Amino acid sequence: MASVGIKLHLLAAIALFLGGCSDHRESAQISSMELTYWPAPNPEEIRLADTLVGVWNRLHPDIRVRMQPIPVSQSTEEVLLAAIAGKTTPDVCSNILPGAMLEYTSAGGLIALDEFSDFDSVALGRTPKDVLETFRSGDHYFQIPWKTNPVMMFYNLRLLEEAGITKLPKTYGEYLAAARTVTRDTNGDGQTDIWMGERDIRPIWWQRLFDFFPFYIAASGGKTLFENGSVAFVNKSSEEVFQFFQDCYRNGYFPHTYFQGGDPFLLEKKASHISGPWEVATLRKFAPQMRYDIVPVPVPDDYRGPVYTFGNFKNIAIFSTTRHPREAWEFVKFLITAEHDLLLLEICNQLPIRGDLTANPLFGDYFRRNPKMTTFARQAAFTREMDAAPDLKEIFDAISQEYEECCVYGKTPPAEAIRAAAQRTQLIVNWNK
C-alpha cells in the first residue's frame, strides 16, 4: 500500500514537472516573439511610435512590439554604442545617424538588411536609387533611409520689418546688411535686446551641424568634408563660412554669451534661426503669434546654383542581438509604408525620405494645410549627409575648436583656422588607417 502511495506521489510529481515544463515552454514561445523598438526620445516621435506600435500589436498579436524611447543621454550614438558593448541593444531602432554607421558596423552591432530577399523592392519603391546609394556601407546596407530634416534659415518677419527689411536675406552680404539694422538696443539701457542671430558658443561637436556644416555644404555647391576619403574642406568656401560667422560675432550681431530663460527665437529676441522642420511644430505650439518664413541658408554673394544643405538624416536599423530578424524586418517595413510616412509628417513634422513626397496625392492634403513644410520638402532634394568617415565626432570637435577660436573670439584668421582644423582632421584620419 505504501509502495502504491509512493508511486502515486512520484507519478504526480513527474506529471507536475512535465506540466510545468510544458507551460514554461509555451510561455517562453509567447514571450520570445516580443520585439523591442527604440524611437528617438522626443515627445512627437514617442507619440508616433506609440501610435504605430499600437496598430502593429493589434494586427500582429503573435509578434508583439514593446516600444521604449532611447534612454536620454548626451547623444543617441553614445547610448547605442554602450548598448552594443553591453549586448543590450533593441531589435529595431529608428534614430540611426548615418555618420555613426561605421562605428556600429565595425562593432558588429547591425545586421545587413539587403540580405532580406525583398530589400531592393522595398527600399527602391520608396527612396530614389542615388539617395539610397549614399547609405551603403561597403557591400551592404545596414540601414534603411527613413526621414530627413533639411537645415534651413528661419526669419522672424516682424523683427525684420521693424528694421525696414522687406526682402529675406539670401546671401552673406544681404544677411550682414540686415543685421546692421536688426541688431539693436530697444530700451536704451546700453544692452542689445534684439539680435540678428545666436548660436551656442560652446565648442560642442554636433553644434557645427547647425552652422558651419550646412553653410559649408551650401557655399561649396553640395560638397562635404571628404572627397574620395581625403580631407577636402581647405578651400575658399570653408574660409568664407568662417569669415561670415566671424563677422557676425565681431560686429556684435551674435551674442558672446548664452541666453538665460528660454529660447531667444521663440521669445522673439533674435531675427534668424538655423533649424529643421521640427521647428515648425515648436513655433506653432509655443509662439503661435509669430510671423516667420523659411529660406535656404545664406550663401556667398557670388554663389550661383541650387542651394544645398545638411539633410540631417535619421534611419532605421536592426541590431544583431535580435533573435527574430525576419519579424524585425517585417516591423521595419511596416514603419515605412506610405500611410505611416503620412503619420510621420502629421505627428512629427519630419520628412520621410521618399521620391514621391511632393507628387503622391496621399501627402497632398498635408502640404496644402502646412505650406511651410513644402519649403522643406522642396529643399529635401538638395541635401547632403555626413561623410562615412571614422571618428566624425572628433573631426567635428576639431572644427568646433577652431570655429570657437576664429569665429566666436576672432583670434585667428579664417584661412589659418581652416588649415588647423584640416591638419588635425588629417591626423585623426591617418591614425585610423
Partner 1 sequence: MIRKFLHKFRASDRNSYWFISPYVIFFLAFTAYPLIFSFILMFHRWNIVSPMEWVGLKNFERLVLDSLFLKSLGNTVMFLLIHIPLQIVVALGFALLLHSRVRFRGLFRALYFLPVVVSGVVVTILWQQLYSYDYGVLNSVLSSLGLPRMPWLVDASFAMPSIALMATWKNVGIYIILFLVGLQDIPSELYEAAAIDGASRSKQFFRITLPMLNPTMIVIMVLSTIGGFSLFIEPYVMTGGGPMQSTLSGMLYIYNQAFYFNHMGYAATLGFALALVILAVVVIQRKVIEKDSVA
Give the binding site for partner 1 (CB under 8 A): 81, 84-85, 103, 106-109, 202-203, 256-257, 260, 391, 393-394, 397, 401, 404-405, 409, 411, 424, 427, 430-432
Q: How far is the CB of 260 from partner 1 (least distance, A)?
A: 7
Q: How far is the CB of 219 from partner 1 (least distance, A)?
A: 25
Q: How far is the CB of 427 from partner 1 (least distance, A)?
A: 6
In 3D, which of 285, 323, 419 has the Cα closest to residue 111?
Answer: 323
Q: How far is the CB of 377 from partner 1 (least distance, A)?
A: 36
How many Å apart are CA 376 and CA 387, to the nearest integer?
Answer: 22
Nearer to partner 1, 160 or 417 (CB): 417
Nearer to partner 1, 199 or 223 (CB): 199
Nearer to partner 1, 105 or 148 (CB): 105
Q: How far is the CB of 423 from partner 1 (least distance, A)?
A: 8
Nearer to partner 1, 18 or 85 (CB): 85
Which residues are bridge partners to 66 per DSSP? 36
Nearer to partner 1, 223 or 424 (CB): 424
Please report, as a single letter, which amino acid is at residue 163: A
Give residues with Cβ within 8 angstroms of 267, minimum separation 6. Answer: none
Q: How far is the CB of 406 from partner 1 (least distance, A)?
A: 10
Nearer to partner 1, 21 or 82 (CB): 82
Mapping DSSP onto H, E and C, the string for 81-129 reads: HHHHHCCCCCCEEEEECHHHHHHHHHCCCECCHHHCCCHHHHHHCCCCH
Give residues with Cβ within 8 angstroms of 71, minimum separation 6. Answer: 41, 79
Reported residue count of the chain is 433
Q: Could you write out the DSSP letters of every residue in 233-279?
A: --SHHHHHHHHHHHHHHHTTSS-SSPPSSS-TTTTT-BSEEEE-THH
